[in-house]
């Protein structure tokens, strides 16, 4: 037994130092288990020897014999206890190194974990993985306590450099343990916070997209533009309220976009098609579509207002001119039969007729603009525009007809006045000639032949006079 104990202690002492990596420690632990099996088998033999020694001590009567039996038994017991202490210390070293290897490996895992952001599902998967790691950490709580307890017991039986080294190793182990606990908790809090932020971000985007969809629906349900200034202005004012709502959300849109892009830049997954990427793309697309429709509707309503206002102003201007034209025709004096007067009336009417003709393009343009408005406008405005155009067209045609009729009447009067003037002129010329002739023949000759000649000329003059 003494030989076996000496060989076993030598074998234990010559075992290689406890490894620092986990695989080496596990191999050494397996080797130690085999070693302990061999020791356990010898422990049975040791108990038999102790039992035999006690029996011999009971049978021995001489004190010298008892000392001879007791001394080797005591030395053997001391050697066995020494072996037990060495085995316990070796086991403690293995347990400590195994724990330190696990702590180092776990801390490296925690240090290697990058910040993660982006999709809530990705973060939830990462959080689930971390919970597995956390459970593994917490499961080592009992191992840490056991190693500490064993180490403190060894410290009580150790002294000098061995105690100082053991104490230092225990302190290092506990520091590593506290570091792992802290980093595990910090990682969990980081993931929880990131998950809340990601969920909040996607919730904000969903709410924002719903608001944009509401605006898009409102734009799609817009009525045809107003054909009258009042209707067009009312529609534009209503649209500008919606337009202002969209502009007020532009800052929120930019913030969401920046936040989403930042999450995409800092995310762990490098692949495309993530929920965050889809949400950001949908947000950009939806904002562009709604903004484009909003601007397009705004331009359309502004154009409609300008067109309706121009039409209304041109129409009112034309109506005012029609009113003046009708008044001018109503107060115009009847065609005169005095040539100079009627010629003056004709000149005045020519100016009026030219003015009427100058407004022909305006009525054509009004009709075209009105038809354009009728095509674009809502039904009730179309009826009003149509009635206005019909009324103006009717008045225009009447003014044109009356202008033509007055021109015809003035021309007839001119012809009649000209005939009268020419006849009057001819008569006055003849009278002047006749008076001059009569004045030249005031003396009546005494000569019968001359009297006959004078009488003959006088009859001719009378005949001509009768013709007038």
Cα radius of gyration rounded to whole Å, the chain = 64
Give the per-residue pLDDT at 19.
47
Give the per-residue pLDDT at 231.
85
In the chain, the N- to C-terminal Cα span, in Å, equals 188
Give the per-residue pLDDT at 270.
43
User: Which string of DSSP letters, residue by residue, matches 286-305?
Assistant: HHHHHHHHHHHHHHHHHHHH
For the chain of 468 residues, list the mean pLDDT of each consecutive stretch of 10.
Answer: 56 53 54 60 63 63 63 65 62 76 89 78 87 92 86 70 77 92 92 86 91 90 78 89 93 90 66 73 93 92 88 90 92 88 91 91 87 77 85 92 92 89 82 70 60 66 57
Can you give the pTM of this predicted structure?
A: 0.57
Give the per-residue pLDDT at 430.
77
Q: Please give the Cα distance from 452 to 445 (Å, whole number).
A: 10
Q: Which two tokens stand for residue 340?
A: 């100079």
Secondary structure of residue 419 in the 3-state scheme = helix
Other beta carbons less than 10 A from residue 305's beta carbon: 21
Number of H helices, E strands in the chain: 13, 0
Contact by Cβ (8 Å): 225, 232: yes
Q: Please give the Cα distance from 70 to 57 (Å, whole number).
A: 8
Question: Can you tell me which residue has the tokens 């000649």?
Answer: 453
User: Which string of DSSP letters, residue by residue, matches 338-371?
Assistant: SHHHHHHHHHHHHHHHHHHHHTHHHHHHHHHHHH
Q: Which helix (H) or strand (E) holds 314?
A: helix 275-331
Give the per-residue pLDDT at 450.
63
Give the per-residue pLDDT at 37.
60
What angle do the packed helices 2-13 and 22-59 form, to 10 degrees? 160
């Amino acid at each position: 037994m003494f030989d076996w104990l000496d060989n076993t202690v030598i074998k234990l002492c010559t075992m290689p130092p406890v490894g620092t990596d986990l695989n080496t420690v596990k191999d050494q632990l397996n080797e130690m288990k085999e070693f302990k099996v061999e020791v356990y088998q010898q422990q049975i033999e040791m108990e038999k020897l102790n039992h035999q020694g006690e029996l011999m001590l009971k049978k021995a009567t001489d004190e010298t014999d008892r000392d001879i039996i007791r001394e080797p038994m005591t030395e053997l017991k001391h050697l066995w206890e020494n072996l037990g202490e060495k085995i316990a210390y070796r086991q403690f070293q293995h347990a400590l190194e195994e724990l330190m290897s696990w702590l180092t490996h776990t801390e490296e895992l925690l240090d290697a974990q990058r910040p993660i952001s982006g999709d809530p599902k990705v973060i939830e998967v990462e959080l689930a993985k971390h919970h597995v790691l956390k459970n593994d950490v917490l499961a080592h709580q009992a191992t840490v306590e056991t190693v500490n307890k064993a180490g403190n017991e060894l410290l009580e039986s150790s002294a000098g450099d061995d105690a100082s080294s053991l104490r230092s190793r225990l302190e290092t182990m506990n520091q590593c343990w506290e570091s792992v606990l802290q980093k595990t908790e910090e990682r969990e809090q980081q993931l929880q916070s990131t998950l809340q932020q990601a969920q909040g971000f996607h919730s904000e985007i969903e709410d924002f997209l719903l608001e944009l969809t509401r605006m898009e629906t409102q734009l799609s349900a817009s009525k045809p533009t107003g054909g009258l200034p009042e209707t067009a202005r009312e529609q534009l004012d209503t649209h500008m309220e919606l337009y202002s709502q969209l502009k007020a959300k532009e800052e929120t849109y930019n913030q969401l976009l920046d936040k989403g892009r930042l999450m995409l830049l800092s995310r762990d997954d490098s692949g495309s098609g993530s929920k965050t990427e889809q949400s950001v793309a949908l947000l950009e697309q939806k904002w562009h579509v709604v903004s484009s429709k909003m601007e397009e509707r705004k331009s359309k309503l502004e154009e409609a207002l300008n067109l309706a206002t121009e039409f209304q102003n041109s129409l009112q201007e034309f109506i005012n001119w029609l009113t003046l034209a009708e008044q001018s025709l109503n107060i115009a004096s009847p065609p005169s039969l005095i040539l100079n007067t009627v010629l003056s009336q004709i000149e005045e009417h020519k100016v009026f007729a030219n003015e009427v003709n100058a407004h022909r393009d305006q009525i054509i343009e009004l009709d075209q603009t009105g038809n354009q408005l009728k095509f674009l406008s809502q039904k009730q405005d179309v009826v009003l525009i149509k009635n206005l155009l019909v009324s103006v067209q009717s008045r225009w045609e009447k003014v044109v007809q009356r202008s033509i009729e007055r021109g015809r009447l003035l021309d007839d009067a001119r012809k009649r006045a000209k005939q009268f003037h020419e006849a009057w002129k001819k008569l006055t010329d003849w009278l002047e000639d006749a008076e001059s002739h009569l004045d030249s023949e005031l003396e009546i000759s005494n000569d019968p032949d001359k009297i006959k000649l004078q009488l003959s000329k006088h009859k001719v003059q009378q005949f001509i006079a009768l013709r007038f």
